[in-house]
Structure 1
């Protein structure tokens, strides 16, 4: 038995022999082969385009990396998880006890005028004014009546100055330190001076570096620490930029300048 082509015109004529060909079924049967061929061609073309179009787009438009530095305002940033540090309480240094000078006391002895030496006589105010004898005042520790020393013989008095301890930075003060020009100028300065590390760009590294530093009582930045690290190269670049910040308006507490902690987020982002 030979194979029958259901889409051939001969088969269609055989089916509709001695029948009403003006009815729509004859026309549908006659054009079945053309419709199947057209549908197959359309499906094939759509499939080829769907598989090759993304590749053609990538070849026509090569990917480009655009460097962009975004600095997030501190007010819109989620508060980082920072361990609370116990502030050291500065104990006041008690002043050293006052030292008292002691002078050896000699009991008076009554003698005749001829037995009194001229140097031992009581001097008048005019004689004391004209004399070249130096009168010194000094505090001597450990003198007593029996082993008294002449204060004028002492060449040097040594005084001990208490060590001045460095004031611990504040977390919050009445007037927080401010960058010259305000937060907007701070963002501009960081965006202008920050350089995206080339190694970080090649590795596709992006994200946030959160730094904390101290604005001291004179307005200078010091003691920079990385609270949230991103990449060693990005961390190093963020520290470099913050270290280059110019002098700030220092924070104040009770009307005096004090050191204050300041947290600054820096965002590295590729587009």
Structure 2
């Protein structure tokens, strides 16, 4: 039995209509796409950027956050105030005065003055004394005063020593030596004169001559007068 289709149900009759609708829809989509407004994406100016192919990473320095503000400590809590009724007796605290009355006797311990012992400085050898004794008439710096003292003592011994005494004692010919040691004390006086010689009379003569040296300005060590030890060899020739 042949099935007959209704002319209304046949879709081939509407194919041209569907094609026209599809074409219109396509044109509408294209039109809307063209008319659609687009806006360029704006990126803030980041300044000049230097690209380095060797650097794999970009280092960003971040400033440390500012330290937190220190809040002022809260005010101290006031002490609790106790309200006392008038009828209640309150014990008062009596504070004794520490001031003394003029009539009251004040005992004061006896003040004893303690004398500080001065540093006792021993005698200093002439070779290491800071300020040498000053022979009368010598002037100049330390080096000149040292040389002048030695020169004056040498001239004094040559002038005062009795050189004829050696020949009177019958000593064997040759060079004879007398070793003399003395001290120029902290007052500038000649003291502690000692001598060693081939004969007692030569020894006594050397001591006599040294004791005739004039008084000098004493030597000083660390700015304080001290005794200065001086040794003097005397040589003379016996023919």
TM-score when normalising by structure 2: 0.41
Higher relative contact order (CA closer than 8 Å, sequence separation 6+): 1
Structure label with greater radius of gyration: 2
- Normalized per residue, which structure has more helix? 1
